[in-house]
Amino acid sequence: MTGYVGAIYGIERPAGSSSWPPSTVNVSTTSDADMAWLLAIAADLCLTGHERMMTFVELGSGENYLAIERILNAVMSSRMALPVAIIDRLTRWLDGYVGNSEEPRLRTMLAQIQAQQVEPVPLRTQQVRHVRRAAAPACSTSVAR
């Protein structure tokens, strides 16, 4: 991974060395491309045919931000749940964009996705059914039936 970071920041590889020098950059952060692909895989079943096609066109052309935005919009509009690990990683990825003009809008989208995943089931419904509600699996509707 330090090779990737080295290539991005123009760090020259020492002569005769097959590895990049240690990086001071935090490589544990998720790149835009990695985040877009992670979301595309996690939300694949949530996307319509057109959304899926456009997502992969955007990924293939390097428009990772557009792919992320498209997937988040699809998840929001379909009221689908994403795994908690994906939400956490998305939150950390978004932390790298504090101050960017698009960051507040993406934070709002993320907050809406999180809120729709934890919608409470009315108490009366819980008492009548005597069913314990489990966490919604990836790409399933989060609304109790």
**Rounded average pLDDT over 5-10:** 34
Model pLDDT for residues 73-122, shown as the tens digit of each residue: 999 998 888 888 999 999 999 999 899 998 999 999 999 999 887 765 55
Boundaries of every domain in the chain? 1-29, 31-145
Task: Say if residue 13's pLDDT is above 70.
Answer: no
Query: Would the pTM of this model clear 0.85, i.e. be above it?
Result: no
Tens of pLDDT, residue by residue over 31-73, are: 999 999 999 999 998 899 999 999 999 999 999 999 999 999 9
Contact 123, 132 (CB under 8 A): no
d(CA 36, CA 120) in angstroms, rounded, equals 29
Helix 103-117 and helix 64-78, axial crossing angle in degrees, nearest 10 = 30
Asked whether residue 16 carries a pLDDT value surpassing 80, the answer given is no
